[in-house]
């Protein structure tokens, strides 16, 4: 599933290519996404100019002139590509191009989602923060609101595994399975540890690792294992820099101990038994 780095990378690229463009028309191939695309969606969006692109957690927010914004979630397998002359769409099955926004420069923004777990939803700007998707989210992990003091307070007395804590979107918004594993490896903390038993010095290391890992992933346009592509149709490059995620049975890059895989909160969790205590 695309996480914060993938969505932020997508946002940064589209800021350069799509902001300022006007949506001329909308073609809807499939309405049955995670949230059904409403019957009035195309008419409400056509003729609107894209004024800004922002992000909240794993959601891309496409701001339009007028009273509405589009809230986009890529689900498990979605992508939002900006297609134009010369764009190579070989990796995209046209059967899964569910929404196509034709822009005033003859290019298209295309939402493709083979598994249809994502969504493209029109929301009134004034009601955005109170939507079911965004209401109750914790602070952004790259913001000043997220720091060691905040994390220590949230971890105090918690029986949940520390990995589950930092993946809890009510605690911190946007961190998913891949980057939680990498953050805890960098901090030297085993993912199965009870959050309430993680020491303050370890909390400090986790909080410090969060921006390091996320910014490095954003700089590599995220991580691609199978389906994720950025707006140019290109895969993320961070997979080559993963230290533990997906490496069970392989030697740790630091100490050569075999990387282990354990299920934490119904998620595969990768760690080094020697480097992570």
Query: Of 12, 134, 7, 18, nearest to 58 (Cα)?
Result: 7
The residues assigned a catalytic role are 2-3, 58, 267
Non-local CB neighbours of 80 within 8 Å, separated by 6+ positions:
10, 14, 60, 72, 74, 109, 110, 111, 112, 231
In the block, tokens 């926004």 appear at 101
Burial of 178: CB neighbours in 10 Å, binned 0-12, 13-18, 19+:
buried
Q: Which pair of structure tokens corresponds to residue 163?
A: 């990995």
Question: Residues 31-45: pLDDT tens digits?
Answer: 999 999 999 999 999
Predicted local distance difference test score (pLDDT) of residue 225: 61
Residue 110: CB partners within 8 Å, gap ≥ 6?
A: 80, 81, 83, 92, 97, 99, 100, 101
- Give 206's Cβ-side CA count (13 Å radius): 31
- Give the whole-number percent of the chain exceeding pLDDT 90: 86
| Tokens encoding 176 | 């998913």
Confidence of residue 236 (pLDDT cuts 50, 70, 90): confident
Note the pLDDT tens digit of each residue in 165-201.
999 999 999 999 999 999 999 999 999 999 999 999 9
> Does 113 have pLDDT greater than 90?
yes
CA dist list (Å): 98 to 76, 86, 113, 160: 15, 21, 7, 38
As a whole number, mean pLDDT of residues 62-81 equals: 94
- pTM equals 0.92
229 or 145, greater pLDDT:
145
Q: What's the rounded mean pLDDT across residues 103-122?
A: 96
């Amino acid at each position: 599933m695309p996480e914060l780095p993938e969505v932020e990378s997508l946002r940064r690229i589209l800021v350069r290519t799509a902001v300022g463009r006007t949506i001329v028309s909308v073609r809807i191939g499939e309405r049955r996404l995670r949230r059904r695309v409403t019957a009035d969606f195309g008419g409400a969006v056509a003729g609107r100019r894209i004024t800004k692109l922002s992000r909240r957690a794993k959601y891309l927010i496409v701001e339009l002139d007028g009273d509405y914004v589009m809230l986009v979630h890529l689900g498990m397998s979605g992508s939002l590509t900006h297609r134009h002359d010369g764009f190579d769409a070989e990796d995209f099955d046209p059967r899964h191009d569910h929404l196509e926004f034709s822009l005033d420069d003859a290019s298209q923004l295309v939402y493709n989602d083979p598994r249809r777990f994502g969504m493209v939803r029109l929301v009134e700007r004034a009601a955005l923060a109170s939507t079911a998707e965004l209401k109750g989210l914790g602070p952004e992990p790259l913001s000043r609101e997220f720091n060691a003091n905040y994390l220590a307070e949230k971890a105090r007395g918690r029986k949940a595994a520390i990995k589950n804590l930092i993946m809890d979107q009510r605690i911190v918004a946007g961190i998913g399975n891949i980057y939680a594993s990498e953050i805890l490896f960098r901090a030297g903390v085993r993912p199965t540890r009870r959050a309430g038993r993680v020491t303050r010095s370890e909390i400090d290391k986790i909080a410090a690792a969060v921006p390091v890992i996320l910014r490095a992933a954003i700089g590599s346009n995220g991580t691609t294992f199978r389906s994720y592509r950025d707006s140019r149709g290109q895969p993320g490059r961070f997979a080559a820099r993963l230290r533990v995620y997906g490496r069970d049975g392989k030697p740790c890059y630091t100490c050569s101990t075999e990387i282990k895989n354990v299920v934490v909160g119904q998620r595969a969790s990768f760690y080094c038994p020697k480097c992570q205590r």
